[in-house]
A = this chain, B = another copy of it.
Amino acid sequence: MLTFVGLGLYDERSITVAGRDAVGEADRVVAEFYTSTLAGATVADLEAYHGVDVEVRDRAGVEQSPGDVLDDAEGRDVVFLTAGDTMVSTTHVDLRLRAHERGIETRVVHGTTAQTAASSLTGLQNYRFGKATTLPFGRSHGGEGVPGSVTDTIDANRERGLHTLVFLDIDAANDAYMRADEAAELLADAWRDDLAVAVARAGSPDPVVRADALSTLAGESFGDPLHLLVVPGDLHHVERDALVELAGAPRSLVGE
């Protein structure tokens, strides 16, 4: 059996009880932290909390040579851990399909996600979000500034009045996480005076949620990673109040 368990958003206590039980009962625990990471816990923290050894694999170890994990999962209970939810990346769907092809039973134990937190912490309603996008570091997409796919997504959502969740690039190999102020600076080229919401450390005991013009957010700092950014579309009156009261948005920027 191969059980995919989402670790949730922040630290070793972000996992669900069902997930913790699956880890505790496993014969072997494998993890990857290149698609996302837990900013509030190290691998040693996870090992101590769960009382297990955690083998961390890099991208090549998951995508090109998962053979030993699958071999093991034929006869024993193997848990595969990822930050957030378990199937955020096609990589993991692919691994699940490989297991399925070999007749290995698979199971998914869900985790909390940035998508959920973006909505919950900002007060922006989940059914008013359109397609999400990811803002990459220049070195990741081999260009300068903001890729057209990102601006197109924000524009297309806004045409329909919808909010856009902007995931910020994670370069795990270099321990680099794009900050919300960097992201705001990049987006301010196109939308200087437009409202955005920076969210830092979603899922932690001390998240920061801050709404203001992109050019203003570009000059602020939001502390430790992970960060994300939301570009709102049309605002319902409760959403307006939430951004003003809970995120410090200037009333002039939220309308009405």
The chain A residues found within 8 Å of chain B, CB to CB, are 6, 8-9, 11-18, 20-21, 85-88, 90, 93-94, 96-97, 100-101, 107-108, 110-113, 115-117, 119-121, 123, 125-134, 156, 160, 162, 167, 202-203, 205, 207, 236, 238-239, 241-242, 245-246
Contact = CB atoms under 8 A, between A and B. Distances in A.
Contacts of A125: 90, 93
Grouping DSSP codes into helix (H, G, I), strand (E, B) and loop, the A interface class, with mixed when no group exceeds half, is: mixed
Contact of A110 (B11, B21, B117, B130): B117
| Most interface-central of A6, A93, A111, A119 (chain B CB within 10 A) | A93
Given A21-B13, A100-B246, A127-B132, A90 B238 contact: yes
B112 A246 contact: no
A87 B203 contact: no
B123 A133 contact: no
A87 B123 contact: yes
Given A16-B112, A20-B17, A131 B127 contact: yes
Total identical chains: 2
B97 A120 contact: no
B20 A110 contact: no
Contact of A107 (B85, B101, B205): B205
Contacts of A111: 112, 116
Contacts of A202: 110
Contact of A100 (B112, B115, B245): B245
Given A21-B13, A93-B242, A127 B119 contact: no
Contacts of A12: 17
A144 to B, nearest CB: 23
Contacts of A86: 120
Contacts of A16: 8, 13-17, 112
